Amino acid sequence: MTAAAPGLPETSPPDTAPLLAVESLDVVLGRGWRATQVLSGVDLAIGPGEIVGLVGETGSGKTTLARTVAGLVSPAAGQVVFEGTTISALRRGARRAERRRGHLQLVFQDPLRSLDPEMTVDDIVAEGVTLQGQADRAEIRRRVVTALGQVGLDDSVLPRTPGQISGGQRQRVSIARALATEPRLLICDEPVSALDASNRNYILRLLEQLRTSLGLSIVIISHDLSSLAGIADRVVVLYRGRIVEDGPVDQVFAAPEHPYTALLMASAPSVRHDRELSPRQLTRTVAEAGELPEALLAGLGGPDACVFAPRCAFAAAACTVQPPLAAAGEHRRAACHRHSEWLTLARGRAARGQLTHHRLTTDGQLATEGQLR
């Protein structure tokens, strides 16, 4: 289940127990009539030294998944197993003790909120180690300096508060805080979403380097693929609380098995205009919906239907039932009834010449994509 990660000193054998195993996770938030099912039947395994990208839009449940793994939310069904311990079943003292071990750390999205604005960087990074209660002051200081060094910061930031350093540095301090307890697994919630392209790449490279030098496993949660392309070994795509696709990143990008994955790829802005498909070819417009029979349309919008059916351009009668997450190739899974057909259909739509967009040429005339090349 764990793909061999490029750059690792040795390949992890396929039957190694996973570092983190999420099993049939159901999470419901809210109470009574306001309860909503945020995650349904999520199955996930992270091996040692793996970088896994977890992708989903707002409402996909990706942040809830991170919070459930971290123990901030209790699952309605299923469990989370980390290093052999079912951490989702721990409570209070046992949970605190497990957290103090510091093997699983969370890096939050916005360092302005996740770092105490009145604490110095020194204290912030030291907090996790201090809580372990075993190191003396000298050792704590050593660990802090080491962690800061691992993210490329030197001692000069120690006495400063988060407001006194730049945004990129803040994000690195946030990562350093997680590294100070020498974790095995790092879960990063949108670590680069608030950064510009250069900083984004810098942080991603940093994470990759941490994986290589420390053997860390990293889960990167993001709403778009560009945040993890280049360093992720595997990608897991979430939509409305369900995994719709996962697999080795190269294979998924080369030939996605689920239309939503393709939609994510098609939506990503690019300077090279080298995308194969456009969002219009993958989503169902209102006009096209009008062409479908009433009964089918109602079925596709029903509670048992595939979660992506309301938007999908390729939804058919079979899609009125949620497809299971089934194997779709080696080490790949996809939840789509038509996973071997829709890509061909999409390419057909593209070939039939749906114009992607217009642009003005220098003399003020409308030009199509082709004219500009």
Partner 1 sequence: MTIDNLKSPDLAAPGLPPTAGAAPDTVSRPAPGTSDLLSLDDLHISVHHGAATAIRGVSLGIRRGEIVGLVGESGSGKTLTCRAALGVLPAGCTIDHGSMTFAGHDLTTLSRRGWEEVHGSHMGAVFQDPASYLNPTITVGHQLAEVLRVKLGLSRRAAHQRSVELLSAVGLHQPEHVFHQIPAELSGGMLQRVMIAIAISCDPELLVADEATTALDVTIQAEIIDLLRRLRDERGLAVLFVSHDLAVVAELCDRVVVFYAGEVVESGPAAEIIERPRHPYTRALLEVASVGDFRRRELRVIAGQPPPVGADITGCRFAGRCPVAADACRTGPIAPVTVGDQHEVRCVRAQEAWSTGELAAR
Partner 2 sequence: MSGNPPRKVTGRSFLRLPSARVAIVVLLGIAVLTVFGSTLAPQNPLTINANALFQGPSAHHWLGTDYLGRDVLSRLMAGTRLSVLTALEAVGIGLILGVGPGIATVFLGRWFDFAANRLTDALMTLPYVFFAVAVTAALGNGLVQAMVPVGILLAPFFFRITRAATLEHSRAQYVEAAELMGASKLHVVRVHVLRKVLPTIAVTTASMTAAALLAVSFLTFLGIGVQPPAPTWGGVLSSDLDYLNQAPWAPFIPAALIAITIGALNALADAFRDRRGAGALAAQPDPIIATHSTLEPADDDRQSQVA
How near is the Cβ of 223 to partner 2 at its closest, in Å?
Answer: 15
- State the residues that interact with partner 2 by CB under 8 A: 70-72, 96-102, 105-106, 108, 110-120, 122-123, 126-128, 130-132, 152-154, 159, 161, 163, 165-169, 172, 177, 181, 194-196, 198-199, 202-203, 205-206, 209
Helix axes 167-179, 197-214, angle to 10 degrees: 20
Q: Residue 181 or 283: which CB sits closer to partner 1?
A: 283
- Integer angstrom CA distances of residue 291 from 287, 288, 352: 7, 5, 19
State how beta strands 51-55 and 77-82 pair.
unpaired
Binding residue (CB under 8 A) for partner 1 from 50, 190, 224, 233: 224
Query: How does DSSP assign 280-331, residue by residue?
Result: HHHB--HHHHHHS-HHHHHHHTSTTS-TTTTTBTT--GGGGSPPP-EE-STT
Which of partner 2, partner 1, none sits in contact with 97, Cβ below 5 to 8 A by type?
A: partner 2
- Contact between 209 and partner 1 by CB under 8 A: the answer reads no
Which of partner 1, partner 2, none sits in contact with 250, Cβ below 5 to 8 A by type?
A: partner 1
- Contact between 205 and partner 1 by CB under 8 A: the answer reads yes
CA–CA gap between residue 228 and residue 139 (Å, rounded): 34
- Contact between 132 and partner 1 by CB under 8 A: the answer reads no
Query: Which range touches partner 1 (CB under 8 A), out of 148-156, 175-183, 217-225, 318-326?
Result: 217-225
Q: Residue 199 or 356: which CB sits closer to partner 2?
A: 199
Assess contact for 186 and 21: CB atoms under 8 A: no
Q: Residue 16 or 365: which CB sits closer to partner 1?
A: 365
β-sheet with 77-82: strand ranges across = 36-46, 20-29, 77-82, 85-86
State how beta strands 85-86 and 366-368 pair.
unpaired
Query: Which range touches partner 1 (CB under 8 A), out of 6-14, 54-62, 86-94, 154-162?
Result: 54-62
How many CB atoms within 10 Å of residue 36?
A: 10
Binding residue (CB under 8 A) for partner 1 from 198, 213, 291, 370: 198
| Residue labelled with tokens 């793909």 | 3
Q: Cite the DSSP H helix spans in the chain.
A: 62-70, 92-101, 111-114, 121-132, 137-150, 167-179, 197-214, 249-254, 259-267, 279-282, 286-291, 294-300, 342-351, 369-372
Q: Residue 121 or 346: which CB sits closer to partner 2?
A: 121
State how beta strands 85-86 and 77-82 pair.
antiparallel
* Contact map string, positions 242 to 281, toward partner 1, x by CB under 8 A: -------xx--xx--------xxxxxxxxxxxxx---x--
> Contact residues for partner 1 (CB under 8 A)?
57-59, 166, 196-198, 201-202, 204-205, 223-226, 229-231, 249-250, 253-254, 263-275, 279, 286, 357-362, 364, 366, 372
